[in-house]
């Protein structure tokens, strides 16, 4: 009789092995072309603060706003899909619920929009 | 047969296959106070979006206060004809039982006091909140904004969101809802901490610290929920209790889950050793927000602790009680001993709150009717005293803002006997001197613990109270028996909002000290409801 | 048959305590009037200076008139219905402790009401003249009114708690009045001494009340007396002794007698009213009032008797040696109250006799004090009797009234003291065995000594050589003795009439004894006395005559030195030193108390403070060290949380699996 936790343990082992292999093998077989970006903490292009005065040293707030708005509507989508699939079964109650949900997200959107969160210049 | 008919038939056939999902029964009357608060929070966001800047403050203040009054009225109306055993509604997710109603009432009145402090614009010209949060601290623009009237009125809807989260938190009957509520109450608080008008850097540091550690604690909580789900196949408190009562599942999951869950809750309640954020955040946050956090978050967190421990872990209380004894002792000792050497009044009250959290935990782990009612009473009493105390703290100022260093409070009684007198009374209440609500609160909590066989814990608690009394009395001595320094702080004339808040807190602290019976009766009116049907 | 009799007895008892109706419904006015007077005079302050003394007199006179009305209202009743109660308000309604402020109107309390308001009214009137030169006369009357109100609470209350309230009230009034001239250090000290020594007695009374409440759950007289039989004999003895301690404190009985002579530092009307006629007799009242309790404890009564006998001798002996007119009278008071305590200690054979002597003593002692005050008034406030002499001619009214009081106190046949004191001596001899000899002998000896020192006092004051002619008073003025104004002499005359007639009125036909029966029970005549009844008065008169003669031989015949001789025999020296009462108090209580206090201070400084300061230092140091853990770095905070979590989870698992 297989203990139900054995697959879990196997999963842990696999995960550990994968990350270890990735970290250990990449330097062995990959090309080594260093530049400044590669030595930064994050390789996604964000420069960690504090930085020299150049560029203000801070990530523009707009960056976070965009990210937040993206997540906001992403989550909304995540909820809308299952609703759409079972819309009939949920009936009127479900419709009202999802309308309220969209409304609350809409309030946040209205706030960002009215307060200039969508202005780029 | 036409195409249309065919379509109709097939559609009918499709529809016929769909079995409608039964919408859960919702007792709207029971959850009306909560709906009012959360709905008004959304309206507040719309106000922010569509009202011109100069109108926002007055509209938001009116909306927030009306919301609290309206929610309170809905609560009172519902109280008249709610069933004794409580109502479980929204598919078993929320229980509106007597403790929940008491906690909601407590949260609403405490929030009312805190909102009054938040809304005050005369003690600190323009209010205690920054007018442009995005300005970088220490720059010329920052100094300009400190002098500019007007504030980030977003603080009002944020308060309402946090309050709504708290209300859900202490009524939620399953762990996942509880987690959502935890986030709903925490996220606005993180933001609000960073909105102080003065000492922006300290305020932002507090916000970031609170956010990081809060996220850390949330992770603990969530991990605990996950383990418990693994244990009981459910996140409902009742199901976990049933699973724990009679199965041979892995106890490792149960106790690891319980431990992590409780850590998450204790963090919110600022119980030591999970209190590390408390002094820094209490100090850095704008004083009205500190008042709100200290009073309301504690109520919500202990409401949650009481509900979780009673609902899901009563059967295993033998195993965990010893551990929580230890936690309570550590918390009381840390709060009492570290409070001794504080030089900042807000940090001192923060350590006092850690000690009080230990006392509250003593009552919470009794798991008897008396423990429940005692803890509920203590929460109400402590909340009012704290709101009033922070109200007084916000009055004592120098040109640079609040004078929070203790040395600046020397000889305050000579400059302003009334403020010093009120603050003395509040400190005595925190120390638990008779004729104040603090005494009654400690008395009911400790006697409940004593009856439940926790005499050694009560002894430690009494010793800790004695140690803690020292640092309260030190402030009293400082105010009355020291010579005021010539460039000492001035005491602002409180605006009507702050005055109402301080008066409310002080009067209730006194009333609960001399006539606690009616609140104790209400707090002991009934137990939790956990039905899952 | 016996059942029927028992049922009738129960019925009679049930009927005994009735509710007060009719004119008695307003009995609270007795207290309210003087209390109102005190309140008006104290709150009104200087604005009432002009008419304050009149208001003070009026309230007490009205109280007296109303008291008389109540008295006749009660005498109209059937003797069995003469004990009535009046509920005024619910005073202390705390759980099991239910004390209603109620009044008990019975012969005993009404007797005291008449004494307190009657003598009180006379002394108020006298004070109008006596205090006429004092700037604070209004305050004086306020305090006097306060005293009368408190004394009435004491005697009218229907529970021990109410009595205690009045008891403390008269204590405060007494303190205020002794220290009325507080600019004199002696007066201030005397007031403190009186207050402190009274506290010793008060503690006894308080503990006795606690015991009653503990065992019976009530402090109301009716219930306590009805259920006193439920108390164990040990508790009974403890209660009787503690009540006696209270009585000793208030009434200046051994061993707490030392404050009373010092209390004469107060104005003379105060000495007359409070420290002779009324307040100091409260101890006698207490014992008499608690008669159902004392009836059950013969041992307790024996101690009472012993204390009484001892005190009456102490008072006489010291009285012989003093030269201060007021102090002699004060020790005479101590001794006379000793008689009363002795009488009430005899139990049913003596309660009524004690009260009778209390009343007659109230008349003649108040009269004597007022007379002394009148003498002082005419003699530049001089009190040394060696500086008086031959004053009869200069103040005839004072002299005559004083001599009437003197004859009454020594028990001259036919005057009031004769009836009341002789009755006590007889009752003392009426005891069986050694008690009869000892107590009777002490009382008899006391009578002789009283005759001696009182005669000496009268001779030195009113007769003989005018020693004052060649002297000046302390402030250098010559003495011009003169009679006092009529506002002072009239009360003295009234009291003198009382001194003559009261005894006969009370004693002949057993008027007073019968009247007091509903409160104190029937007087038991002793049958087995050690001496025949007829012999006792004869012996007494002989001894009194001997005392008078001795005094005449010692001071009447030959000149008296103005300064008192220093080289005197040992007994006189001892008596002059109050029989070393203060020294004994000092040695037995004050000095050990001081040592104890010093030892405690030492323990406190070295031990307790050391512990406390050590703990404080430890906590402070610990706090300072722990504070460093609060680094301000989120990473260390998170680490502490993580550590805490690991500990919590590990502990849970250990508890579960260990």
Q: What is the pLDDT along chain B (533 residues), one digit of tens a residue?
A: 455 565 555 555 555 556 777 778 888 989 999 999 999 999 999 999 999 988 999 999 999 999 999 999 999 999 887 777 888 888 889 999 999 999 999 999 999 999 999 999 888 888 888 888 877 777 788 888 777 778 889 999 999 999 999 999 999 999 999 999 999 999 999 999 999 988 888 898 899 999 999 999 999 999 999 999 989 999 999 999 988 887 677 788 888 899 999 999 999 999 988 999 999 999 999 999 999 999 999 999 999 999 999 989 988 888 899 999 999 999 999 999 999 888 899 999 999 999 999 999 999 998 888 899 999 999 999 999 999 999 999 999 888 888 888 888 888 888 888 999 999 999 999 999 988 999 999 999 999 999 998 999 999 999 999 999 988 999 999 899 888 877 777 787 888 899 999 999 999 999 998 888 888 888 888 888 876 44
Mark whether B and A touch (3+ CB pairs within 8 Å): yes
Structure tokens at B170: 């202490």
- Dist CA C608 CA B498 (whole Å): 44
The sign of the torsion formed by the CA atoms of B226, B228, B231, B233 equals negative
- Dist CA B258 CA C656 (whole Å): 12
The sign of the torsion formed by the CA atoms of B508, B509, B514, B515 equals positive
Q: How many CB pairs under 8 A join A and B?
A: 40
Nearest CA in chain C to B335: C623
Residue A80 buriedness (CB in 10 A; 0-12 / 13-18 / 19+): middle
User: Using a CB-CB distance cutoff of 8 angstroms, which residues of chain B are in contact with residue A58?
Assistant: 136
Mean pLDDT of C437-457: 88
Question: How do residues C216-273 score in pLDDT, each as one tens digit?
Answer: 888 888 888 888 888 888 888 899 999 999 888 888 888 788 888 888 888 888 888 8
Contact C408, C501 (CB under 8 A): no
**Which alpha helices (DSSP H) does C531-608 contain, by range?**
535-551, 570-576, 581-585, 591-602
Preferred mutation among B20, B187, B253 to probe A, highest tally of A CBs within 10 A = B20
- Dist CA A102 CA B294 (whole Å): 34
Q: How many domains does chain A have?
A: 1
Q: How close, in Å, is residue B347 to chain A by CA atoms?
A: 29
State whether C630 and B276 contact (CB < 8 Å).
Answer: yes
Structure tokens at B60: 């938001």
| Interface residue ranges in chain B relative to chain A, Cβ cutoff 8 Å | 15, 18-21, 23, 42, 45-46, 48-50, 134, 136
State whether A104 and B48 contact (CB < 8 Å).
Answer: no
State whether B255 and C623 contact (CB < 8 Å).
Answer: no
* pLDDT for the residue numbered C16: 56
Question: How do residues C368-407 score in pLDDT, each as one tens digit?
Answer: 888 888 888 888 778 888 888 778 888 888 888 889 989 8
CA end-to-end span of chain A, whole Å? 65
State whether A107 and B15 contact (CB < 8 Å).
Answer: no
Secondary structure class of C244 (helix, strand, coil): helix
Task: Enumerate residues 6+ apart whose C-beta is below 8 A from C14.
Answer: none
Q: How many CB pairs under 8 A join B and C?
A: 88
- Dist CA C614 CA C620 (whole Å): 10
* pLDDT for the residue numbered A89: 85
Whether B411 has its CB under 8 Å from any CB of chain C: the answer is no
Confidence of residue C468 (pLDDT cuts 50, 70, 90): confident
Can you tell me which residue has the tokens 């929580």? B324
Position C8 pLDDT exceeds 50: no
Residue A109, domain member (yes or no): yes
Task: Name the residue facing B49 among A58, A61, A114 (closest C-beta).
Answer: A114
How far is Cα of residue C439 from the mean position of the Cα atoms in its chain? 23
As for the ipTM of the complex, it is 0.88
- Dist CA C283 CA C247 (whole Å): 4
Question: How do residues C265-307 score in pLDDT, each as one tens digit?
Answer: 888 888 888 877 788 888 889 988 888 888 888 888 889 999 9
CA nearest B271: which of B352, B337, B357, B209? B357
* pLDDT for the residue numbered C501: 82
Q: How close, in Å, is residue B181 to chain A by CA atoms?
A: 16
Question: How do residues C112-161 score in pLDDT, each as one tens digit?
Answer: 898 899 888 988 888 888 888 788 888 888 898 999 999 999 998 888 88
Q: Give the HSE-up count for residue B490: Cα atoms under 13 Å, Cβ half-sphere.
A: 9
CA nearest B430: which of B395, B371, B387, B490? B387
| DSSP notation for C349-406 | GTHHHHHHHHHHHHHHHHHHHHHHHHHHHHTTT--BGGG---GGGT-HHHHHHHHHHH
Q: How close, in Å, is residue B306 to chain A by CA atoms?
A: 31
B337 vs A26 pLDDT, higher one: B337
Task: Enumerate residues 6+ apart whose C-beta is below 8 A from B455.
Answer: none
In terms of phi and psi (left: phi > 0; alpha: psi -120 to 50; beta: otherwise), the region of C479 is beta
Q: Can you give the pTM of this predicted structure?
A: 0.65
């Amino acid at each position: 009789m297989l203990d139900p936790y054995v697959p879990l343990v196997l999963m842990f082992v696999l995960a550990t092995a994968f990350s270890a292999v990735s970290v250990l093998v990449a330097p062995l077989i990959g090309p080594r072309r260093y530049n400044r970006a590669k030595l930064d903490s994050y390789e996604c292009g964000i420069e960690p603060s504090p930085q020299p005065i150049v560029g203000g040293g801070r990530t523009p707030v707009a960056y976070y706003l965009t990210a937040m708005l993206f997540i906001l509507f992403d989550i909304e989508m995540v909820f809308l899909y299952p609703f759409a699939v079972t819309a009939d079964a949920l009936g009127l109650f479900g419709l009202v619920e999802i309308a309220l949900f969209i409304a609350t997200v809409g309030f946040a959107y209205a706030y960002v929009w009215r307060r200039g969160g969508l202005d780029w210049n | 047969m036409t195409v249309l008919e065919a379509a109709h038939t097939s559609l009918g056939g499709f529809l016929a296959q769909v079995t409608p999902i039964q919408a859960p029964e919702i007792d709207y009357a029971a959850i009306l106070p909560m709906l009012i608060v959360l709905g008004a929070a959304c309206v507040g966001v719309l106000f922010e979006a569509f009202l011109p800047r100069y109108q926002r403050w007055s509209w938001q203040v009116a909306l927030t206060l009306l919301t609290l009054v309206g929610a309170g009225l809905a609560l009172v109306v519902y109280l008249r004809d709610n069933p004794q055993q409580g109502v479980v509604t929204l598919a078993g997710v929320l229980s509106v039982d007597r403790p929940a109603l008491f906690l909601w009432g407590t949260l609403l009145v405490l929030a009312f006091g805190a909102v009054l402090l938040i809304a005050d614009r005369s003690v600190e010209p323009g209010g205690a909140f920054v007018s442009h949060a995005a300005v970088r601290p220490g720059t010329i623009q920052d100094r300009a904004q400190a002098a500019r009237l007007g504030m980030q009125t977003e603080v009002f809807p944020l308060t309402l969101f946090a309050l709504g989260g708290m209300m859900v938190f202490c009524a939620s009957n399953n762990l996942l809802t509880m987690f959502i509520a935890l986030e709903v109450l925490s996220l606005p608080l993180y933001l609000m901490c960073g909105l102080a008008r003065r000492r922006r850097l300290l305020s932002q540091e507090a916000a970031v610290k609170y956010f990081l550690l809060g996220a850390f604690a949330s992770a603990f909580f969530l991990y605990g929920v996950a383990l418990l789900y693994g244990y009981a196949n459910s996140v409902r408190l009742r199901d976990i209790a049933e699973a724990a009562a009679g199965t041979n599942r892995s106890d490792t999951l149960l106790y690891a889950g319980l431990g992590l869950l409780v850590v998450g809750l204790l963090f919110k309640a600022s119980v030591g050793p999970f209190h590390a954020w408390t002094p820094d955040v209490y100090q850095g946050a704008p004083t009205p927000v500190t008042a709100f956090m200290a009073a309301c978050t504690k109520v919500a967190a202990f409401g949650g602790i009481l509900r979780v421990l009673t609902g899901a872990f009563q059967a295993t209380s033998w195993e965990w009680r010893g551990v929580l004894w230890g936690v309570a002792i550590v918390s009381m000792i840390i709060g009492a001993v570290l409070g001794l050497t504080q030089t900042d009044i807000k940090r001192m009250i923060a350590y006092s709150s850690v000690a009080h959290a230990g006392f509250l935990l003593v009552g919470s782990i009794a798991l008897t009717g008396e423990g429940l009612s005692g803890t509920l009473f203590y929460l109400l009493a402590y909340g009012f005293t704290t709101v009033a105390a922070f109200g007084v703290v916000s009055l004592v100022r120098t040109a640079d803002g609040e004078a929070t260093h203790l040395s600046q409070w020397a000889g305050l009684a000579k400059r302003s006997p009334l403020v010093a007198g009120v603050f003395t009374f509040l400190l005595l209440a925190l120390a638990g001197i008779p004729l104040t609500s603090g005494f009654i609160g400690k008395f009911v909590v400790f006697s409940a613990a004593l009856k439940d066989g926790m005499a050694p814990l009560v002894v430690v608690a009494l010793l800790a109270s004695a140690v803690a009394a020292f640092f309260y009395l030190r402030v009293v001595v400082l105010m009355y028996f020291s010579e005021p320094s010539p460039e000492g702080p001035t005491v602002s004339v409180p605006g009507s909002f702050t005055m109402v808040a301080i008066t409310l807190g002080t009067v209730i602290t006194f009333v609960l000290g001399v006539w606690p019976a009616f609140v104790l009766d209400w707090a002991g009116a009934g137990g939790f409801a956990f039905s899952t049907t | 048959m016996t059942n029927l009799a028992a049922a009738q007895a129960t019925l009679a008892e049930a009927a005994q305590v009735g509710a007060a109706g009719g004119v008695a419904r307003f009995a609270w006015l007795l207290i309210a009037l003087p209390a109102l007077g005190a309140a008006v005079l104290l709150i009104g302050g200087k604005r009432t200076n002009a008419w304050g003394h009149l208001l003070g007199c009026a309230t007490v006179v009205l109280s007296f008139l109303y008291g008389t009305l109540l008295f006749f209202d009660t005498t109209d009743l059937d003797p069995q219905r003469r004990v009535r109660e009046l509920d005024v308000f619910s005073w202390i309604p705390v759980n099991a402790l239910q004390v209603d402020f109620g009044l008990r109107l019975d012969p005993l309390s009404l007797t005291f009401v008449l004494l307190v308001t009657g003598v009180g009214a006379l002394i108020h009137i006298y004070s109008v003249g006596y205090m006429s030169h004092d700037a604070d006369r209004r305050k004086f009357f306020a305090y006097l009114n306060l005293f009368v109100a408190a004394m009435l609470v004491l005697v009218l209350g229907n529970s021990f708690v109410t009595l205690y309230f009045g008891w403390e009230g008269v204590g405060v009034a007494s303190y205020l009045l002794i220290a009325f001239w507080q600019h004199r250090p002696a007066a201030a000290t005397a007031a403190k001494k009186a207050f402190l020594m009274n506290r010793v007695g008060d503690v006894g009374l308080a503990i006795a009340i606690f015991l009653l409440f503990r065992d019976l759950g009530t402090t109301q007289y009716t219930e306590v007396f009805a259920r006193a039989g439920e108390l164990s004999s040990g508790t009974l003895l403890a209660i009787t002794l503690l009540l006696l301690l209270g009585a000793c404190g208030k009434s200046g009985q051994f061993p707490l007698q030392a404050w009373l002579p010092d209390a004469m530092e107060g104005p003379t009307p105060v000495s007359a009213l409070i420290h002779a006629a009324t307040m100091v007799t409260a101890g006698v009242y207490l014992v008499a009032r608690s008669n159902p309790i004392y009836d059950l404890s013969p041992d307790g009564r024996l101690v009472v008797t012993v204390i009484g006998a001892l005190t009456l001798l102490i008072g006489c002996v010291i009285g012989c040696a003093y030269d201060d007119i007021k102090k002699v009278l004060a020790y005479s008071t101590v001794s006379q109250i000793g008689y009363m305590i002795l009488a009430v200690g005899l139990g049913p054979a003596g309660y009524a006799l004690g009260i009778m002597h209390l009343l007659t003593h109230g008349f003649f002692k108040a009269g004597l004090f007022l007379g002394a005050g009148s003498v002082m008034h005419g003699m530049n406030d001089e009190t040394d009797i060696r500086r008086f002499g031959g004053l009869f001619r200069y103040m005839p009214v004072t002299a005559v009234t004083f001599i009437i009081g003197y004859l009454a106190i020594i028990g001259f046949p036919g005057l009031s003291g004769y009836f009341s004191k002789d009755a006590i001596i007889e009752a003392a001899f009426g005891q069986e065995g050694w008690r009869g000899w000892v107590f009777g002998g002490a009382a008899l000896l006391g009578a002789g000594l009283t005759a001696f020192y009182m005669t000496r006092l009268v001779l030195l004051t009113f007769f003989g050589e005018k020693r004052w002619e060649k002297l000046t008073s302390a402030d250098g003025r010559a003495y011009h003795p003169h009679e006092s104004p009529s506002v002072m002499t009239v009360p003295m005359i009234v009291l003198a009439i009382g001194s003559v007639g009261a005894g006969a009125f009370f004693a002949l036909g057993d008027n007073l004894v019968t009247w007091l029966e509903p409160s104190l029970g029937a007087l038991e005549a002793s049958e087995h006395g050690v001496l025949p009844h007829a012999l006792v008065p004869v012996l007494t008169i002989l001894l009194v005559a001997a005392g008078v003669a001795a005094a005449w031989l010692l001071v009447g015949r030959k000149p008296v030195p103005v300064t008192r001789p220093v080289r005197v025999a040992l007994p006189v020296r001892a008596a002059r030193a109050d029989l070393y009462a203060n020294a004994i108090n000092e040695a037995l209580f004050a000095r050990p108390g001081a040592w104890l206090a010093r030892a405690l201070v030492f323990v406190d400084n070295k031990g307790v403070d050391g512990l406390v300061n050590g703990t404080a230092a430890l906590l402070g140091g610990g706090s300072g060290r722990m504070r460093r853990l609060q680094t301000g770095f989120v990473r260390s905070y998170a680490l502490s949380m993580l550590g805490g979590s690991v500990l919590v989870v590990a502990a849970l698992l250990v508890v579960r699996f260990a």
